[in-house]
Structure 1
Amino acid sequence: MSRISGGDTKPEIVVRKLIHGMGFRFRLHVKNLPGKPDIVLARHRKIVVVNGCFWHGHQGCVRSKRPATNVDFWNTKIEGNIERDKLNKATLEEAGWQVLVVWSCETKKPEQLIDKLKRFLLPEP
């Protein structure tokens, strides 16, 4: 696990490129916000968090299957991540931020992801 990268993952870079291509500018991993969110659009008070399906327990996703060995460790690890994610999201929303969670499996379908990002980032007409 020590070799697992915490930032600049492929799914995160895909989302960044799409958001940048839409004309938005953003900050990465802002340390003074709960959970150091992946993408922060401060001007719009919006945050995009890119979660790995395995590490954050994406319900119903093939990639979130838990290992059959060392079950107690993995259940504790992943359940802890899920609880921390819920707490961070709630704290951010209480502070007036809008939060969008993008799962790594969603980056495999760019057309659908672009639609999701547009609905979140662009104002209603």
Structure 2
Amino acid sequence: MNFNTLELDHIGIRVTDLDIAEAFYAKLGFLRDPDEFAPQAKACGLVHANGMRIHLIYNGLAAEQGNVLLDAPVKRPGYTHAAFIIDSMDTLLSWLKQENIRVSEGPIMMGHGRRMVCFIRDPDLNVLEFNEILTA
């Protein structure tokens, strides 16, 4: 290989309604980057204050039975979720409750007790994972 991968640039998330998705991700701290808005490609870049980026690809059709990669009985290949490191699971859980955002799984301990994990879904049922790295 003659090149070095330096970092992850962004995560693309297919959604059905840009306004609804953008409002949801704004609650998580992701705001529209005017330099990353491409209506011709049906893509809208969002950036977090910490520099993380996601692109909302707003050409999705509503699924009849949940997330086609995770909820269907036949498991097809594809990206299943984005995962974020957070500083406090308790604070996240409290905030999710206040915002009326349902936790779809967790929190659960992963690995050898070094990671607390919970999952939520966006309005299009895309899965988001949140991890608190435990120091004990």
TM-score by length of 2: 0.30
* Structure with bigger RCO (C-alpha 8 Å, 6+ apart): 1
TM-score by length of 1: 0.31
Greater strand fraction, Structure 1 or Structure 2:
2
